[in-house]
Amino acid sequence: MPLPLVDKSAFDDLVRCWQNAPHPSIKTTSYFPVYVQLFQHLRGRECTFVETGILDGGSLFMWRDWLGPNARIVGIDLNPDARKWEKEGFSIFIGDQGDPAFWRDTLPKIGRIDAFLDDGGHQSFQQIVTVQEVIAHIRNEAVVAVEDSYTSFMNDFASHGEHSFLEYAKDATDCIVGRSFEMYPNRTPNPFNVASVQQFVNVLSINFYNGIVAFQLNPAACVPPQVVRNQNLRGAMDFRHEGKNEAAIEWPDVRKARTVTVKGAG
């Protein structure tokens, strides 16, 4: 399979761990290099790795084998039979990921989380509830990733209408940008939805991959930005408004081709 710019040794080890898992596990080929990018910093460390969606159990063994003996692997599933994996040394919690009450009861029991991977029900409301509750719980540097985000486009998952998980994740990027609004109070929305911006106050970035969306949490780095100058005087003329004032853009849209005209400042 094609290998992007990731550690080849870590990638090969991950594929080996998946292939050698004693129980079945279904993956998409494009996920393995993303896993390496997102999670390889945890290898050999004491950490807690949580995965929703246990099914046949193979991925639990993959993660433990790849991350190493210092990793605590936590599995979450709605099927009570998944408790059988506790005898293999995994921490198992049974519950409905689409129910906020489940997370508010369970996350304190799990404690610190260093990486969270949602491979559960794949319905948008489940993915959104999971991300909201997990992000609200975590207070340390961590990765929260959601797999199979392409279900946002699938006909048999379409009950969400326009409020798909992918649209939620895209709009969440606006909330990260919203931390900059107070720098320009007369040029940006005022008032703006402070509560929504605060919901993502610890999210440093949101990364989109083929089938995976990853929220990078880093509370220490998420300080409100400030405008700074290295010198008080600026001698250059500002020509930003002297060129063309609009452009025809082939707008990115997976459903249909469309060209839009994007205008400049008034």
Which pLDDT tens digit goes with each residue over 111-146? 999 999 999 999 999 999 999 999 999 999 999 999
Do the domain assignments include residue 71?
yes
**Inter-residue contact 126 to 97 (CB < 8 Å):** yes
Sign of CA dihedral 193, 198, 199, 201: positive
Q: How many domains does the chain have?
A: 1
Do the domain assignments include residue 205?
yes
Number of residues written out for the chain: 266
Do the domain assignments include residue 150?
yes
Cα separation, 256 vs 83, whole angstroms: 46
Look at residue 185 in the predicted model and tell me its pLDDT. Answer: 87
Strands 259-263 and 246-250: antiparallel
Burial, 219: exposed, middle or buried (Cβ in 10 Å; 0-12, 13-18, 19+)? middle
Look at residue 190 in the predicted model and tell me its pLDDT. Answer: 83
Do the domain assignments include residue 145?
yes
Cα separation, 38 vs 33, whole angstroms: 9
Do the domain assignments include residue 163?
yes
Per-residue pLDDT for the chain (266 aa), expressed as one digit of tens each?
455 678 999 999 999 999 999 999 999 999 999 999 999 999 999 999 999 999 999 999 999 999 999 999 999 999 999 999 999 999 999 999 999 999 999 999 999 999 999 999 999 999 999 999 999 999 999 999 999 999 999 999 889 999 999 999 999 999 999 999 989 888 888 888 999 999 999 999 999 999 999 999 999 999 889 988 888 877 788 888 888 899 999 999 999 999 999 999 86
Amino acid identity for residue 234 in this structure: R
Do the domain assignments include residue 251?
no
Parent domain of 70: 8-221
For 223-236, write each residue's pLDDT tens digit.
Answer: 889 988 888 877 78
Do the domain assignments include residue 126?
yes
Q: Give the domain CATH number at 29.
A: 3.40.50.150
Look at residue 224 in the predicted model and tell me its pLDDT. Answer: 87
